[in-house]
Amino acid sequence: MTLSFDDKLARYAELLVRTGVNLPRGGKLLVQAPVEAAPLVRLVARAAYRAGATDVRVTYNDAHLGLALFEDGSDEAVDFLPDWHAAQREAMVADGYASIGIVGEDPSLLAGVDPERVARRSKRVAQAMKAISEATGGFQVNWTVAAMSTPAWAARVYPDLPEAEAVARLWDDIFAVTRADHTDPVAAWDAHLARLERLTAFLNGKQYAAIHLRSELGTDLTVGLAENHIWQGGAETAKNGIRGVPNLPTDEVFTAPHRERVDGVAVASKPLAARGQLIEGIRVRFEGGRAVEVSAERGEDTLRGLLDTDEGAARLGEIALVPASAPVSQRGTLFLNTLFDENAASHLAFGRCYPTNVGHGENPEALHAAGGNVSLIHVDWMIGTAETDVDGVTADGRREALMRGGEWVVG
């Protein structure tokens, strides 16, 4: 059966509600989306009400207002953020609102903006939203992040195509990697999530002391893992007892590194889109867990600004393993969007760890004692390739193959 675009979009909206946040009858939902997403948001609202939602709230954002702030706003305006901005979100978390975030921003919108202004604003927002970031990272409520095709994003991904064709091509990519083009997307996701669950069960049973990664690009990195670390991937159960899928798409299994036990060199396999800038050719040498040598062929100032955010920003908060055969990777496209590109390659994240990746990680003292990292930022960057080899390193130093040529050989 051939599905029309409208059919696929409706199934996609249903997928966000049923699989993404798994909204229960009587649940409440917050949708955060770019202004261009209004048609999709309306479908999400309908799907939520059909699922029995009692309330659906929507917050729209316009990235060009941020551009206006950086280009025409005073320093005072860049630093200003009203108290109610964070208080409103904190109240919604306390009231149990599930959250669907929809992304589709232009990855290079702020390319001509002073990176110092962007860094100041980003740090200000991160400080104000610290409690929300911790609640999200700790899965206090069920949430998911997904994407939509926008003209600006599509033009970056497919610059040689006319606008309408580029937007349609990007939608095809989104529907394919999220399985929204399947006859029964929910059933397709159930099978996929079962595979990820088997992998996390295997890795949690092993409790490796470290993970070693090597690639043809020059990556030769040993990532010590936090004590009592927990591998996660696919579906997660929030503190409210609801099991959902935080990222659509998702093909990763991930855990927390020990903040002081990362050594060697990591070389990026894909550009990183961060703070409205494109950072390319990243190479980092770690010593004792900290990035001690950092370079990039493009966007190095932005990268250094990220790592200067706070003490934990130059350390790792996540290691994630993704096979080269993952659907996003098989599309053969660089999406310039972390949600997609992180599901095309194994990756690391600068900054804070997820407390759920560490046993008793919700306790700050226990998290610190286990080696978990704390920071205002969490920035994923991709290092995996189709020739990457990954080993698990046992406490007595033995290496066991996990991936060869970018593919799982276990689980």
pTM: 0.88
* Residues 222 and 334 placed together within one structural domain of the fold: yes
Q: For 321-357, how does the pLDDT look when each residue is reduced to its tens digit (9 = 90+)?
A: 999 999 999 999 999 998 999 999 999 999 999 999 9
The confidence score (pLDDT) of residue 277 equals: 85
Among the ranges 130-134, 272-276, 311-315, which has the highest mean pLDDT value? Answer: 311-315
* Residues 69 and 120 placed together within one structural domain of the fold: yes
Asked whether the predicted pLDDT for residue 315 surpasses 80, the reply is yes
The confidence score (pLDDT) of residue 62 equals: 95
Which of 53, 136, 43 has the alpha carbon at shortest distance from 356? 136
The confidence score (pLDDT) of residue 107 equals: 87
* Residues 161 and 24 placed together within one structural domain of the fold: yes
The confidence score (pLDDT) of residue 139 equals: 86
Burial label, 280 (beta-carbon count in 10 A; 0-12, 13-18, 19+)? middle
* Residues 367 and 256 placed together within one structural domain of the fold: yes
Using the structure block, give the residue that is written with the tokens 């903006």.
113
Q: For 168-182, how does the pLDDT look when each residue is reduced to its tens digit (9 = 90+)?
A: 999 999 999 999 998
* Residues 151 and 228 placed together within one structural domain of the fold: no
Residue ranges making up the domain that contains 56: 5-177
pLDDT more than 90, % of the chain = 90
In a domain? residue 187: no
* Residues 220 and 353 placed together within one structural domain of the fold: yes
In a domain? residue 195: no
In a domain? residue 239: no
End-to-end CA distance of the chain: 33
Asked whether the predicted pLDDT for residue 1 surpasses 70, the reply is no
* Residues 125 and 254 placed together within one structural domain of the fold: no
What is the total count of domains within the chain? Answer: 2
In a domain? residue 89: yes
* Residues 257 and 148 placed together within one structural domain of the fold: no
Which of 92, 76, 23 has the alpha carbon at shortest distance from 52? 23
Residue that terminates a domain, selected from 136, 157, 177: 177
Residue that terminates a domain, selected from 138, 160, 177: 177
* Residues 221 and 170 placed together within one structural domain of the fold: no
* Residues 146 and 294 placed together within one structural domain of the fold: no
In a domain? residue 189: no
Q: For 142-198, how does the pLDDT look when each residue is reduced to its tens digit (9 = 90+)?
A: 999 999 999 999 999 999 999 999 999 999 999 999 999 988 898 999 999 999 999
Asked whether the predicted pLDDT for residue 262 surpasses 80, the reply is yes
Q: For 31-51, how does the pLDDT look when each residue is reduced to its tens digit (9 = 90+)?
A: 999 999 999 999 999 999 999
Residues in the chain: 411
In a domain? residue 392: yes
Number of C-alpha atoms within 13 angstroms, CB side, residue 245?
25
Average pLDDT, the chain: 95
Buried b (16+ CB within 10 A) or exposed e, 32-61: bbbebbeebbebbbbbbeebebeebebeee
In a domain? residue 194: no
Using the structure block, give the residue that is written with the tokens 């969490």.
378
* Residues 225 and 105 placed together within one structural domain of the fold: no
In a domain? residue 198: no
* Residues 214 and 74 placed together within one structural domain of the fold: no
Q: What CATH number corresponds to the domain at position 80?
A: 3.40.1830.10
**Cis peptide bond upstream of 24, omega within 30:** no
